Amino acid sequence: MRACVVGAGPGGIVTAKVLLENGFDVTVFDKYRQVGGIWSSEGCYDGLANQSALRIFEFADLPNRLHFASAVDTQRYLENYAETFGVLDRVRPGTEVISIRPVDGPGRVGASGWLIDSRPTGDKAAEVHRETFDYVVVASGAHHHVQMPELPGRELFRGTVVHSNEVRAGTFSGRRVVVVGGGKSALDLVTRAAREAASATLVQRKVNWMVPERFLLGLVGYKWILFTRLGEALLPRYHDPACIRPIDRIDERVKRALWWLITRDVLFSTGLYRLPRQLRPAHTLPFHLAHAGVMPRGYVRAIRRGLITPKVSAVEAYTDTGLRLATGEEVAADVIVFATGHHKVFPFLDSRVRVHDSAGRLRLYRGIVPAGADRLGFVGFRQVFNNIMGVELTAHWLTCYFRATLRTTPGEQEMKEAIDARLAWQEEVLPGSGGYDFGPYDIHCADELLHDMGLPSRRAGNLLAEYLLPGGVAHRYAGLTRSSSSN
């Protein structure tokens, strides 16, 4: 059974490891020279830091003692993992996949396997190498195809315009920097610009929630709140009835009261209470919690010291000196950084494989496999807060799907109906999630995949540990290959 994995980031290497353990002959293609995806030196902006606390960014079979680690240390852990489990020898670095299309044959798309065309990264004159694989896993990542706003007047501005992915050492030094965006990357970069640039301005359409490193007035690490079953029970009820426990049926009035308290604690613990009201989120939690990152250290302090000039407005156009905002104000800049997200697209994938709807949302059953295509899966597009745990469990589920050992495998029409139901739920409780971001539902997402694999979702020895200790952590799911093989 020949399997191709596209991408050697966290999702790609853990999928390759699980497939190898289950007897697949695996080849991993990656366009970068290092494994690690966005954590490799070619894949991240200079200064990218991990927002994971201790024991969060780790796979089940290799403990990681890093705490809010640098990109360099994070990549080193991922490379160590790939080497430890025999994945590194299966990687073809510096190789770009340019086409994935089904082998023509009877039955559904992909039933006879897949043709993969590849060539050296960036060398369009190189000879294309074609191979046939029985199975394909797309783990190309959700943060590579940049999303840049198309604004009028680009020809007027003579300064530097980059996406956040393109920021490198020296980009900000001594220059007037404007960062556009309101997510974790935008706040990271403008905080850095406050230290290095002549001036730093942040322009955001709305203020997003950020998670503090520590909750309860700065006393308790975030994993003890966000990554527990009790914490998840306060969220809107999960869409899959098989994953609902009695604790998830907490009265809605109790939830609202608790979220009122949590909202105020987050404002205090992140330091947002110390900023003007227009620089705080407009809605009470858990609204848009799925889009929250961990608050960068120094961001609030830099605003209070006048090192960051915040503007809450949309961007309207370039000018000869910078940007014009929707408020009519003009902001001067030498460097404009758009931290405006990414497209979740797969330009190498055959058009017969439909993975998006008309609104651009991903249409994947369980967030993993497309309805109507065989022997094809996606890893890393069922995103949760602890995405390392999420991609590892996805790799196990997808391997069982390929081996036809899931408890049940629905037909194409059932898959489509399940996708419709999930997208409707996501639009209600996770607006703007694009069909892939499940945000804070780490444990419910894990329960759903374990249920499909016929494995127990209870992962602790007693009820107190099961409900009060962090459950959205990978080490609770060690040994799944052995468990699923025995079913």
Are 211 and 158 in a shared domain?
Answer: yes
pLDDT digits (tens, 9 = 90+) for 376-417: 999 999 999 999 999 999 999 999 999 999 999 899 999 999
Q: Which residue in 171, 243, 187 sits closest to 49, CA to CA?
A: 187
427: three-class secondary structure by DSSP: helix
One-letter amino acid for residue 103 of the chain: V
Are 358 and 461 in a shared domain?
Answer: yes
Are 404 and 376 in a shared domain?
Answer: yes
- The residue ranges of the chain whose pLDDT is under 50 are none
Are 379 and 435 in a shared domain?
Answer: yes
What CATH number does residue 53 fall under?
Answer: 3.50.50.60
Close Cβ partners of 87 (under 8 Å, ≥ 6 residues apart): 8, 13, 16, 17, 20, 26, 28, 35, 81
Are 337 and 349 in a shared domain?
Answer: no
Q: Domain end: 314, 341, 368, which one?
A: 341
The predicted pLDDT at position 445 comes to 96
Rg of the chain's alpha carbons, rounded to an integer? 23
User: By residue range, what is the domain housing residue 168?
Assistant: 147-341
464: three-class secondary structure by DSSP: helix
pTM recorded for the entire structure:
0.94
Positive or negative CA dihedral for 236, 240, 243, 246?
Answer: positive
* Distances from the Cα of 117 to the Cα of 124, 249, 459, 480, angstroms: 12, 50, 42, 33
Structural domain count, the chain: 2
The Cα–Cα gap between 87 and 28 comes to: 8
Tokens of residue 375, six digits: 């022997």
Residue whose entry in the numeric block shows the structure tokens 């309805």:
371
Are 200 and 312 in a shared domain?
Answer: yes
Tokens of residue 376, six digits: 């094809």
Are 374 and 408 in a shared domain?
Answer: yes
Q: Domain end: 320, 341, 362, which one?
A: 341
pLDDT digits (tens, 9 = 90+) for 155-201: 999 999 999 999 998 999 999 999 999 999 999 999 999 999 999 99
Are 137 and 182 in a shared domain?
Answer: no
Are 166 and 81 in a shared domain?
Answer: no
> At 98, phi and psi to the nearest 5?
-110, -15
Q: Domain end: 323, 341, 359, which one?
A: 341
Q: Which residue in 367, 371, 370 sits closest to 380, CA to CA?
A: 367
Are 314 and 178 in a shared domain?
Answer: yes
The Cα–Cα gap between 235 and 458 comes to: 19
Report whether 436 contacts 381 (CB < 8 A). Answer: yes
Angle at Cα 375 formed by Cα 369 and Cα 379, nearest 5°? 40
Are 318 and 185 in a shared domain?
Answer: yes
Are 183 and 78 in a shared domain?
Answer: no
